Amino acid sequence: MITATTENIPGHQISSHLGIVCGNTVRAKHVGRDIMAGLKTIVGGEVSGYTEMLQESRNQATDRMIAQAQAMGADAIVNVRFTTSQVAQGMSEMLAYGTAVKLGQSGTTSPPPIS
């Protein structure tokens, strides 16, 4: 599945839009990660436990979005975006969304000649 943050795929023509697709996951903080995050606020630096959790969340949300697009028969997803939100104390959602499309023939196409 081709995914892009752009509105088109270079070298391909979009033949049809199939609709919006999305994937999400909600994750809760882990006590061990919270303790390490608390220590990092004192000494500074990257909170690697949270970085890993966000990467896992992005991957899972992306996989779910792709699965939805495949079920629709899509060849690609364009305008892919990610967003996060807090859904409850200590729980965050990662959402991936975009537009599922069918691709036409590869290459660039010229507009029809004006007669």
Residue range 62-82, pLDDT digits in tens: 999 999 999 999 999 999 999
What HEC string does 25-49 produce?
EEEECCHHHHHHHHHHHHHCCCCHH
Q: How many C-beta atoms lie closer than 10 Å to residue 27's C-beta?
A: 18
User: What local confidence, expressed as pLDDT, does residue 52 receive?
Assistant: 85
**Fold of the domain spanning 2-106:** Translation Initiation Factor IF3 (3.30.110)
Q: Which range scores top for mean pLDDT: 16-30, 41-55, 68-82, 92-106?
A: 68-82
Residue 19, pLDDT above cutoff 60:
yes
